[in-house]
Amino acid sequence: MNQILVTDKVFITPEFKRKKKAYKLNFILSIVAVSLLSTYCIYAAYDRDKSEAVSQVLLADMETTERLTSEEPADTSSTMRKEDNVIIVVLDPNEQAVEEEVNVDDLAEAAGIDTTVYTASDGTQYTTIAKIYIPKIEVTYPILSQTHADILPELMKIAPCKFWGAEPNEVGNFCIVGHNYRNNKFFSKVPTLEVGDTIDITDTKGRTLIYEVYDKYVVSPDDVECTSQNTNGKKEITLITCTNDSKGRVIVKAVVK
């Protein structure tokens, strides 16, 4: 028995102890790395869901405005109305209206389009220029107006945005960019669209035009040829999103039926 015990001790060398410590350290580091990665993924999902919630609130406000402005006589409890060139935003019918000191005529002249400004619960203002509905993939979102490229990444977390080109439902190429989160949100399913599918665009004037997909292809991130405004007098839209590996850009082209 004593001989056996001595033999066992012989194999517990300093090198063995070093490897054992290294194994334990690697195991602990692996646990920490997995925990950090899991935390990041959970936070990213939470952030996306939070942004999605803001987008849906904006969409609900847009649809409420569309409904109220289409009624005759006009309902004075509208969530958005124009009075003396001042945009008045009502977040809740039971709350007091919040006046935003924005001159409507100056805004329209500068942008060349009708816009609608909404204020979120945290005080952030968002300017919407249209609504997009894609029947095949069952997504509906407001389209935000972006006037500065440096804020586009932040706005894209909330909803699809105008990237370039003509205004909604006007002659030219209205280019819209949206995130591909590889789930059911934003433009994640845009790559599944095919020639013949339809896309509805409703502008702030209440006009809804139906566009039919006529082309789809993938380009490199620095290829912006798809934003060309040479449409031969037609009304077109271009949807832009990332490929699933984020290495390319999926381009979907559609024209008024």
Task: Please report whether residue 183 resides in a domain.
Answer: yes
Task: Please report whether residue 110 resides in a domain.
Answer: no
Q: What order do you get walking across the sheet with 98-103 strand by strand?
A: 80-83, 86-89, 98-103
Task: Please report whether residue 96 resides in a domain.
Answer: no
| CA 214 – CA 196 distance, rounded (Å) | 6
CA torsion sign for 81, 86, 91, 92 is negative
Task: Please report whether residue 126 resides in a domain.
Answer: yes
Task: Please report whether residue 139 resides in a domain.
Answer: yes
Task: Please report whether residue 92 resides in a domain.
Answer: no
Task: Please report whether residue 144 resides in a domain.
Answer: yes
Question: What is the predicted pLDDT for the residue at 37?
Answer: 59
Domain that holds residue 19: 2-70+116-256
Query: Residue type at 229?
Result: Q
How many domains is the chain partitioned into structurally? 1
Question: What is the predicted pLDDT for the residue at 31?
Answer: 72
Nearest to 166 by CA among 215, 217, 238: 238
Question: What is the predicted pLDDT for the residue at 252?
Answer: 98
CATH number of the domain encompassing residue 23 = 2.40.260.10
Question: What is the predicted pLDDT for the residue at 35?
Answer: 58
pLDDT by residue, tens only, the chain of 257 residues? 455 454 545 456 777 667 777 777 776 776 766 655 555 455 455 455 556 777 777 777 777 766 665 654 444 333 333 333 333 333 333 433 333 343 433 434 444 446 677 666 667 788 899 999 999 999 999 999 865 566 788 888 889 999 999 999 999 999 999 999 988 889 999 999 999 999 999 998 889 999 999 999 999 999 999 999 999 999 999 999 999 999 999 999 999 98
Task: Please report whether residue 131 resides in a domain.
Answer: yes
pTM (2 d.p.): 0.64
DSSP 3-state of 168 = coil
The answer for 233, left when phi > 0, alpha when psi is -120 to 50, beta otherwise, is: left
